[in-house]
Structure 1
């Protein structure tokens, strides 16, 4: 069997633990990955939109390295707030999923009833209309965020050890808030997009708790990868049923 080519992960400069389900853990993916870190990309700068042209060039440089030196056939990044950088990155790099938010237009087509699709993001005050505009999503998309300076935030800031249960409870809390927000707008939540690339370890729990379809950076990465790496099929017509 031929070795599958890898998916490239362009990662922010972070140091926290990455368990199975996290974007940069090889166990999260059904195919090989290669991780490249952009030293200039700190979470604070990306979250608050303070990145510069030099930061964009650093992402492009690392993306090209992953393609040319590591043989990656597609790319994703490790922060959903890079949605505002997506038009720039996509103009320089092929098959790049800069943000899980790119899936919102597809989700809206699958669930067209108003206020049936929503977003759980890492930090609600940082998610702007520009993020939605840069991925072609509706600016009216309902969204909620995690607690400011809560367990999830403190883990990602390396202030406390990885706390799976504490992080899970914060994600589920935001999910229930999103469900109530959609109901307050006359809708019913049917599909959730997890913006943060460190949230997929909790995707299954969100799906069970809220009884919704859940999209995240892993669903985006698998979609982009499957478009780049196609399976070869042997041409063979099925045998007719017996007795015919």
Structure 2
């Protein structure tokens, strides 16, 4: 017997999207080809990058909740978002929907910190150091706020402005250089940094560049969402005792 109850099957992860026009390259959360599994999207009307990053996203939380519930009704078993600053909405959205919610890449910080030696710390690379506050980190579950150094691409020439001002044409090589410059600043400023978490979901295409420049592990929304999805749909390992991989050898 097979039972239904959903409108859509096979795409259990729902992604809440800001309303924006800038191009989304391979690796960006908003480019569906980034994912090795199907996803469902909902655009939250009026939720511009500027309003969410530079202003107060809590003014839009009811709209995010409504969109999240639409995704659940469409068959999603988990919800994420395309902006790390939406950590502020984590508690409200998770209380309002019946499935797990992972609003922000910043939620990886406590887990990554647990991987490091006691004398090492996690640095955050954000699109807007000027507006990322202790409240964002606290909402993401970070306890030792003073031990998380924050670095940004604010001083770069292209990345921050192109995304937050929603440019319809972007020089992505210039964005890459902004990311490389910011990554270098991390290791030149603080030798105690042992890993980096990328706050911004548009930074994933440059994660390997950051890794190469710093020599440090780099965690992004891509690493977080893949981990999240693995919990929603665990890999299947059929029991086949004739398969030599079943061991013992």
TM-score, normalization by structure 1: 0.88
Q: How does 1:102-117 map to 2 (within 5 A)?
A: 102-117=107-122
**1:179 corresponds to:** 187
What is the correspondence of 1:55-134 to structure 2 with a 5 Å cutoff? 55-69=60-74, 71-93=75-97, 94-134=99-139
Query: Are residue 143 (structure 1) and residue 147 (structure 2) matched?
Result: no
- Among residues 17, 24, 27, which one is paired with 2:23 in the alignment? 17
Question: For residues 195-214 of structure 1, what are the structure 2 equivalents within 5 Å?
Answer: 195-214=199-218
**How many residues matched?**
233
Q: State the secondary structure of the residue aligned to 1:198.
A: helix
In 2, the alpha carbon distance for the partners of 1:198 and 1:136 equals: 22
Q: Which moved more, 1:97-106 or 1:44-53?
A: 44-53
User: How far does residue 231 in structure 1 lie from its aligned partner after superposition?
Assistant: 2.8
Structure 2 CA distance for aligned equivalents of residues 239 and 171 of structure 1? 45
Whole-Å separation in 1 of the counterparts to 2:180 and 2:36: 26
Task: Show structure 2 runs of 5+ residues with no match.
Answer: 1-8
Residue 15 of structure 2 is aligned to residue 41 of structure 1: no
CA-CA distance at 1:139 after TM superposition:
0.9
> In the aligned structure 1, how far is the partner of 2:87 from the partner of 2:195?
20
Specify whether residues 211 and 240 from structure 1 end up closer, same or farther in structure 2 by C-alpha distance, changes over 3 A only.
closer
Which residue of the partner structure matches residue 8 of structure 1?
A: 14
Match of 1:193 in 2: 197
TM-score, with length taken from structure 2: 0.87
Q: Is 1:231–2:224 an aligned residue pair?
A: no
Quote the Cα distance in structure 2 between the aligned partners of 1:34 and 1:236: 34
SS at match of 1:11: strand
Structure 1: unaligned runs, 5 residues or longer: none
Match of 1:27 among 30, 33, 52: 33
Q: Relative to 1, partners in 2 of residues 1:169 and 1:234: Cα closer, same or farther, differing over 3 Å?
A: same
- Residues 1:216 and 1:239: Cα distance change in structure 2 (over 3 Å): closer
Alpha carbons of structure 1 residues 90 and 114: separation in structure 2 relative to 1, 3 Å: farther
Q: Residues 236 and 99 from structure 1, CA distance in 2 versus in 1: closer, same or farther, beyond 3 angstroms?
A: same
**Deviation readout 1:76-105 (Å, 9 max, x if unpaired):** 101101111111112123221101000000
Query: Could you tell me how far 1:177 is from its partner in structure 2?
Result: 1.1
Task: Compute the displacement of 1:178 (Å).
Answer: 1.4
The verdict on how the C-alpha distance between 1:239 and 1:77 changes in structure 2, with shifts beyond 3 A counting, is: closer
Query: 2:6 — aligned with what?
Result: none
Match of 1:166 among 158, 163, 174: 174
